[in-house]
């Protein structure tokens, strides 16, 4: 194979003596011509496009994976799964597991408790939990109540927790008694409504 560039803009011709490689040579010639033309017409390498407009459109078409879906809140998706697959495992953490039915039921109970305490749309609920299935219950329960959750790790020092709660205007905390008890004095000083997630699971 040989290529000859005669002038600018480039006039390129190719020769190849194997008829079986016709498709390859045509593709190679088109690509090579495109690259040369781009290098001659662009000032920056970042502006060089090795694909022609037609090739780029074809490539984008191959990767067009857009698909319209109906938007549903996360808690609605959980309810859908609980109805369709009630006995399937929905969450596993620390050797504990919950089915979709169990997770949805526990989240419903927590949601009702939070609503009865004043949680509604645009209310932020603090979430202070260790990793476990309780996190899934708390998140879904808060969303079902209409609120938003603000997660904090139990390792956060008191002053950081206090700052976050004040800054976000949090009035409710979802946690466990194991986390609350060693820091009871601190939690009580926050003057918040505290819900213990393990007490609403059953």
Q: What is the pLDDT of residues 76-132, one digit of tens each?
A: 888 888 999 999 999 999 889 999 999 999 999 999 999 999 999 989 999 999 999
Cα-based angle 174, 126, 178 (whole degrees, multiple of 5): 40
Predicted pLDDT of residue 79: 86
Predicted pLDDT of residue 171: 95
Predicted pLDDT of residue 160: 96
Predicted pLDDT of residue 21: 65
Predicted pLDDT of residue 27: 73
DSSP string computed for 45-56: GGG--SS-HHHH
Strand partners, 99: 89
Say how far apart CA 113 and CA 92 lie, in whole Å: 24
Predicted pLDDT of residue 7: 54
Does this model's pTM top 0.85? no
Backbone angles phi, psi at 180, to 5 degrees: -70, -45
pLDDT beneath 50, residues of the chain: none
Domains, the chain, ranges and CATH?
2-62 (no CATH), 74-200 (3.40.50.980)
């Amino acid at each position: 194979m040989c290529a000859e560039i005669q002038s600018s803009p480039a006039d390129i011709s190719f020769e190849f003596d194997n008829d079986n490689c016709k498709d390859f040579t045509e593709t190679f010639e088109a690509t090579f011509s495109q690259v040369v033309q781009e290098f001659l017409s662009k000032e920056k390498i970042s502006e060089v496009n090795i694909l022609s407009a037609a090739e780029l459109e074809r490539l984008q078409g191959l990767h067009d994976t857009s698909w319209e879906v109906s938007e549903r809140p996360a808690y609605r998706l959980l309810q859908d799964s609980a109805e369709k697959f009630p006995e399937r495992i929905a969450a596993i953490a620390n050797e504990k597991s919950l089915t979709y039915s169990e997770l949805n039921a526990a989240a419903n109970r927590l949601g009702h408790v939070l609503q009865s305490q004043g949680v509604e749309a645009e209310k932020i609920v603090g979430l202070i939990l260790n990793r476990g299935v309780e996190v899934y219950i708390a998140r879904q329960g808060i969303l079902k109540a209409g609120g938003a959750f603000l997660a904090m790790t139990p390792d956060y020092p008191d002053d950081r927790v206090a700052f976050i709660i004040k800054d976000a205007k949090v009035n409710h905390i979802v946690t466990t008694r194991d986390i609350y008890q060693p820091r009871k004095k601190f939690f009580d000083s926050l003057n918040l409504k505290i819900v213990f997630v393990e007490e609403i699971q059953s």
